[in-house]
């Protein structure tokens, strides 16, 4: 399956006088590699107000979408290493070096892991009027017809989930990338593609409206929002399981005590019932336990895993 990817390489005023500030800047900036409404943006804005109380600085969310999130992370890598600039880091961030020939930063050299924040599940969906009613039918019919799948863009989790699934079940699937999940789901509903591994938050409204049929979720366990939908593992395809994830990084050179301080503050924020409920309402599952070393090892493992998947899929850079 050969493919050539062509890629163009409210301020929250809640500073408390009795809280310990991080560095000497007037505020803390969280740089997000996607537009408003994306999971990284939702996370940053949900954390903003309570994190400002924890760290004694207002928190500003700055959106810098483009180039698979690398524009935002490049800005983070160039920022002063004082703990006042943070960035969102996700599954797509570990994929980027495999599909962008000239990276503007080196993850291992220029960024420091702070902590993981949350995970999000993808769901395999087809149109409600599709003759494919379950994964077994998809596998049966896919032996004689090459199905197309939509994704939210090159290197996004919706592509990765489909590539991994195709490799696991030995189906040759044709990738059709779109500019974001809304366009991809619109194409699916409109009959222009056959299937998609959409994020649950994006697909759920269309499922509830009866316009999409869910076949399986990519999490290890069934999820509360779609309890009747089986997991790929239940169906015998555990190796095709995938969960998107998000975390926070800082510029290399940031003092370890600052990294630990920010990580601990985020942990306290995530322990709040209101924050957990806001994230869960957006389809994100918060992770109460994480830290710099755990997140760094996780990033390394994910990079190894998806590099192998992309190589098997024949994805090359241009």
DSSP letter string, 164-208: HHHHHHT---EEEE-SSHHHHHHHHHTTSSSEEEEEHHHHHHHHH
Show the domain range for 27.
3-119+244-316
Closest CA to 193 of 223, 231, 150, 157: 150
Total domains present in the chain: 2
Residues 80 and 179 in one domain: no
Pick the last residue of a domain from 174, 209, 240: 240
Q: Of 9, 303, 36, give the one whose Cα is nearest residue 160.
A: 303
How far is residue 35's CA from residue 88's CA, in Å, rounded to a whole number? 12
Q: Report whether 234 contacts 221 (CB < 8 A).
A: no
Confidence at residue 190, expressed as pLDDT on a 0 to 100 scale: 97
**Residue 182 burial (CB count, 10 A):** 12
Where b means 16+ CB within 10 Å and e means fewer, 200-233 reads bbbbbebbeeebbbbbbbbbeebbebbeebebbb
For the chain (318 residues), the mean pLDDT of every run of 10, in chain order, is 38 32 70 88 96 96 92 97 97 92 95 97 96 96 94 90 94 92 95 96 93 96 92 94 94 98 97 94 89 97 92 74
Q: Tell me, yes or no, whether 235 and 126 share the same domain.
A: yes
Tokens 């918060």 belong to residue:
286
Q: What is the pLDDT of residue 316?
A: 67
Tokens 């050179």 found at:
253
Do 209 and 263 belong together in one domain? no
Measured CA distances, 291 to 98, 114, 288, 296 (Å): 26, 6, 10, 8
Alpha helices in the chain (DSSP H): 39-55, 70-78, 91-99, 107-110, 135-142, 157-169, 181-189, 200-208, 256-270, 273-281, 292-312
Q: Identify the domain boundary among 211, 240, 269.
A: 240
Q: What is the pLDDT of residue 317?
A: 63
Specify the pairing of strand 195-199 against strand 148-151.
parallel
Contact 61, 44 (CB under 8 A): yes
* 79 and 50 fall within a common domain: yes
Of 240, 262, 279, the position where a domain reaches its end is 240
What per-residue confidence (pLDDT) applies to 19?
35
Q: What integer pLDDT is reported at residue 296 of this predicted model?
A: 97
Do 132 and 198 lie in a common domain? yes
User: In this structure, are 108 and 170 located in the same domain?
Assistant: no
- pLDDT value of residue 155: 86
Indicate if 21 and 100 belong to the same structural domain: yes
* Residues 163 and 299 both lie in one domain: no
Residue 105 shares a structural domain with residue 180: no
Sign of CA dihedral 255, 257, 262, 264: positive
Pair (158, 85) in one structural domain = no
Kindly state whether residues 181 and 222 are assigned to the same domain: yes
Q: Which positions ≥6 away from 80 have C-beta within 8 Å? A: 251
CATH number at residue 259: 3.40.190.150
What is the CB-side half-sphere exposure of residue 282 using CA atoms within 13 A?
19
Q: Please tell me the predicted confidence (pLDDT) of residue 211.
A: 98
Are 123 and 216 in contact, with CB atoms under 8 Å apart? yes
Find the helix packing angle between 256-270 and 292-312, rounded to 10°: 90
Residues 214 and 132 in one domain: yes
What is the C-alpha separation between 239 and 35, in angstroms, rounded?
31
| pLDDT value of residue 13 | 33
Domain CATH number, residue 151: 3.40.190.10
């Amino acid at each position: 399956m050969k493919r050539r990817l062509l890629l163009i390489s409210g301020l929250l005023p809640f500073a408390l006088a009795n809280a310990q500030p991080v560095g000497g800047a007037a505020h803390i900036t969280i740089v997000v590699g996607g537009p408003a409404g994306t999971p990284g943006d939702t996370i940053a804005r949900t954390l903003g107000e309570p994190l400002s109380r924890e760290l004694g600085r207002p928190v500003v969310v700055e959106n810098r979408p483009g180039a698979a999130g690398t524009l935002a992370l490049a800005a983070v890598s160039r920022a002063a290493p004082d703990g006042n600039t943070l960035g969102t880091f996700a599954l797509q961030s570990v994929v980027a070096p495999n599909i962008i020939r000239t990276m503007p930063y080196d993850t291992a050299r220029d960024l420091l892991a702070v902590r993981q924040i949350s995970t999000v599940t993808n769901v395999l969906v087809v149109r409600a009027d599709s003759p494919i009613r379950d994964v077994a039918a998809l596998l049966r019919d896919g032996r004689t017809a090459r199905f197309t799948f939509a994704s939210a863009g090159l290197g996004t989790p919706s592509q990765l989930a489909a590539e991994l699934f195709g490799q696991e079940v030995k189906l040759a699937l044709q990738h059709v990338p779109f500019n974001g999940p809304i366009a991809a789901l619109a194409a699916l509903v409109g009959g222009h593609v056959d299937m998609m591994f959409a994020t649950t938050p994006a697909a759920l409204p269309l499922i509830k409206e009866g316009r999409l049929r869910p076949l399986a979720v990519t999490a290890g366990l069934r999820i509360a929002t779609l309890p009747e939908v089986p997991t790929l593992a239940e169906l015998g395809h555990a190796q095709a399981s995938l969960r998107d994830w998000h975390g926070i990084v800082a510029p290399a050179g940031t003092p370890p005590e600052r990294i630990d301080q920010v990580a601990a503050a985020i942990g306290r924020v995530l322990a709040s019932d209101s924050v957990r409920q806001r994230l869960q309402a957006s389809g994100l599952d918060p992770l109460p336990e994480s830290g710099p070393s755990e997140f760094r090892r996780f990033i390394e493992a994910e990079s190894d895993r998806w590099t192998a998947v992309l190589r098997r899929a024949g994805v090359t850079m241009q």
